[in-house]
Each structure stands twice: as C-alpha cells, then as structure tokens.
Amino acid sequence: MQAIILAAGKSSRLWPLNDSHKSLLRIMGKPIISYAVDGLLSAGIKDIIIVEDEKKQISEELKKYSRYKNIKYAVQNQALGMGDALLMVKDLLDDQFLVISPERIDCEEIVKQILVKAKEKKTKTILAASKTGSPSLFGIMKLEGDKILGIVEKPKAGEEPSSIKVVGVYLLEKKLFNCFKNVKKHQYDFEKVLSLYMQKNETRMMLLDKEGPSLKYPWQLFDLQAYLFEKYLKTETGSLAKIGKNVNIQGKVFIGKNVKIFENAVIKGPVYIGDNVIIGNGSIIRDNADIENNSLIGALAEVARSNFQENVHIHSGYFGDSVFGKNCKVGAGTVTANIRVDRGEIFSVVNGSKENTKKKSLGCFVGENTKIGVNCSLMPGILIGSNCLIGPKTLVSENIENNTKYYAAFEKIVKKNN
C-alpha cells in the first residue's frame, strides 16, 4: 500500500502563519507533517510520496531525520489543486493508494480503520468522513447510506447535500485517473473527478466518531497542539537544564536540553519547553503553552495557551491564546488582549472576510521576523504579518499586512474638569 501526502498548497487562510508551508509549523519540537508521516509508518505504510511546492522546504526539513530516508518527493510548481498534484505522481502509483492531507496528525487510526473496512466491504474506494457544523468550508458528501453519490465543494448556505465532510484521508484506485480526461482542469477538479468516478464505481464513506483537528485558520493550530499534547507530551527534563531556586513545576511538563529557568518561575502543565529556552525570574508558563527552541521569556511575563515558534523573544507582559512566528521580538509591557469586553465570541478578518472563530478566548497571530515595541496592546483576533515593525505604545486593533511599519499617533491628552 502506498500513501501520497499532498503538501503543496498556499494555505492563504492561514496567513500570517504561512511563510513556510503550514505543515512545517512546529509543535513539541517537530513539524506537523512529521506526525502524519509517523502515523502512516505506524499503520504499516512504508511507501510514502510527498508532493511539495517549488521551495522544497518539506524535503529539506524531513531529510534531517534518518527515519524518513525512504520518502519520495515530487514538486508541484503551481498550486493548481489536488487533481493536478495527483496527476504529477500518476506514474509512481500502484493500483490502490492512500491520499492524505499533511495536517492529519490522527491518520494512523483512520488508515487502519479504512483498510479494515475495505477488506470487509470488498471495495477499492473509501473516504474518511466526519460531521461538521461549518459545511461551507469543506467538501460535503451526497450520501445514500454509507455510499457516496457525489461531493459538493464548499456549498452555499442552504444548499448543503448533508452535514458530512471529507476529512482528508482517501483510499483510491488508479482507475480514477480515467475520469480526468472528462473534467476541465481547475482548482477543484479533483472533487469533480471523484463525483464522476462515483457514478459508475462503488465508493463508500467511513464516518469517524469525531471531527478531528483541521488547519485552515490560524486559531485551529491550538486544536492540533491540544491533540498532540494529550497523546505525546511526557514529563522529562533534558541534560544540562538548570532550574533556579523556588521554581514551581506542576503537572505534565517537558523541559528540553540546556534550558535555564530562573528563580520563582511557575510552570503549570501541560507545557512544552524546547531546547536552549530561557525563562526569567517570576514568569508564569501555563495551560497548553508550547515554547519552541532558542526562545526567551523575560522576567515577570505570563504565557498561557500559546505557541511560540523558534527563537521568539518576549519580556514582561501577558501573552494568551496567541501564536508568534519564528524570530519575533517583543518589547517589555506588551499585552495580548484575548477576551472581548462584552465576553462575546471573537471575530477575525481572513482574506477580507469577517470570520467567527467561535472562541471566547483568543489572542493575536504574528508572522515571522516581526518586531513589536514596548507597551503595545494587541487586540483579540488580530493578524499581524511577517517582517513588520510595530512602534512602542501602539494599539493594534486591525490586521497589519506583511512588511509594514505601524506606529501609534501620539496625541496630547487633555483632562477636562467635571
């Protein structure tokens, strides 16, 4: 059995966390795609092909790991959809093969269940599925029992054929490629090809117990992080780590190599702290926080339910439910506001569209290499691009595009008598 991982899309809805492919975002010291690959290997799938984009960042990263030495790679120079990506590897495929999305960190059990059902039902094509409350974001199945009659990509409200979505794990046969010649090439031609194939060939769905993690929007990274923490996080302290006096460590906490935690800090798990991290005096790291390698948490800072990619430096302040891309630097006294004053659900503007995150606690998302001055206030659900410079004492209440200098207008405040 073969597996193809399709990892060449641009993930525009994940901005500002998409400078590199989304599957290279790190959780617990590893890129997300490595969890999907490990899941396939654990399910007994050894023949793996990854389709990546022209930057070849995924192959460059995974070749660092000896256990991935047998993976094959193909390059999709333009993000022209799943159909185009599959056509690129057609000649490498056996009669039957798996296709998965790179963020399917739960693929091990899904693949095992699909292969069992394929044997029981004696069918060659099975799609993993789950219920969703947001059908307009996904490919939605038209069903007759567990038989799939067709797939509607991102249906309009009121036009959904069901509430069952495709979850990004497919068992397919090479016969599918015969249908491409009858479908005009476009971004969503794969779904059209599948629907055409289903008219003459039995295709079944395997309904999962729960929806599982997805990664279309920045805030969904927290769902993947929580899943991986629960499954893999363990209490461990690496070599050469130095823990200062009166440091309070509670719960499940991983501390990497050469970490320095200074006096009176509090680490309340689940928490992951990567290699060479420095945590200053009196700081608090808590509740599903992930601090990747070479980061610095200054004295008297608080970090909760957040993800800091590699080499992020912050100082005193509060950082809740937020993600900072690698190499970000943040001045002292800066605060991420993560709850609305009215305690309502938080909205975020993505690709010009106002999206309800359906979260009542959500901070900000910052791209790579951005520098933020002292005493800044970052409002809930705000997206800040890469390579930005945010001036001191600035209130950020709107999205900021990549490569932007953004400063507050310092105005004189006049106090009036009652």
Q: Which of 219, 238, 260 is the last residue of a domain?
A: 219
Examine residue 93 and state whether it is found in any structural domain, yes or no. yes
Question: How is 335-382 classified by DSSP, letter by letter?
Answer: EE--S-TT----EEEETTEEEE---SS---EE-TT-EE-TT-EE-TT-
Q: Is the dihedral of CA 14, 20, 21, 24 positive or negative?
A: negative
50 φ/ψ sector (left φ>0, alpha ψ -120 to 50, else beta):
beta
Domain assignment present for 33: yes
Q: Is 178 a member of any domain?
A: yes
Do 261 and 344 belong together in one domain?
Answer: yes
pLDDT mean across residues, the chain: 92
Residue 176 shares a structural domain with residue 196: yes
Same-domain check for residues 182 and 135: yes
Tell which residue, 195, 198, 196, 139, has the closest CA to residue 164.
139
Residues with Cβ within 8 Å of residue 315, at least 6 apart in sequence = 298, 299, 301, 330, 331, 332, 333, 334, 374
Query: Do 288 and 377 belong together in one domain?
Result: yes
Question: Which amino acid is located at 210 in the chain?
Answer: K
CB 292 within 8 A of CB 275: no
Q: Name the CA radius of gyration of the chain, rounded.
A: 23
Q: Where are the beta strands (DSSP E) in 93-211?
A: 96-100, 126-131, 139-144, 147-153, 164-173, 204-207
Question: Would 7 be classed as within a structural domain?
Answer: yes
Residue 413 lies in a domain: no
Residue 303 forms part of a structural domain: yes
Using DSSP, state whether 25 is helix, strand or coil. Answer: coil
Q: Range of 18's domain?
A: 2-219
Q: How far apart are CA 39 and CA 59, in angstroms?
A: 18
Same domain, 254 and 310: yes
Q: Report cis status (omega within 30 of 0) of the bond before 16.
A: yes
**Same domain (yes/no): 100, 242:** no
User: At 271, which CATH number?
Assistant: 2.160.10.10
Look-up: residue for tokens 């693929």?
A: 107
Give domain status of residue 360, yes or no.
Answer: yes
Q: What is the distance of C-alpha 227 from the center of its chain?
A: 12
Do residues 168 and 197 share a domain? yes
Which portions of the chain are predicted below pLDDT 50? Answer: 412-418
Number of domains in the chain: 2
CB atoms within 10 A of CB 155: 18
Sheet bearing 284-286, strands edge to edge = 248-250, 266-268, 284-286, 301-304, 317-320, 334-336, 377-378, 395-396
Q: Quick one: the chain helix, strand, coil %, rounded to 5?
A: 20, 30, 50
Contact 6, 102 (CB under 8 A): yes
In the listed set 168, 185, 219, which residue is the last one of a domain according to the structure?
A: 219
Same domain, 235 and 159: no
List the CATH number of the domain containing 138. 3.90.550.10
Q: Which two tokens stand for residue 138?
A: 């996904």
Which of 219, 244, 262 is where one domain is finished? 219
Tell me, rounded to whole angstroms, the distance of Cα 361 from its chain centroid: 18
Per-residue model confidence (pLDDT) at position 261: 98
Residue 412 belongs to some domain of the structure: no
Q: What is the pLDDT of residue 11?
A: 86
Provide the residue type at 37 as one letter.
V
State residue 416's pLDDT score.
45
Same-domain pairing of 120 and 234? no
Residues 91 and 29 in one domain: yes
> 257 and 151 in one domain?
no
Is the separation of the CB atoms in 125 and 203 below 8 Å?
Answer: yes
| Strand 126-131 with 164-173, pairing | antiparallel
The reply to whether 175 and 259 lie within a common domain is no
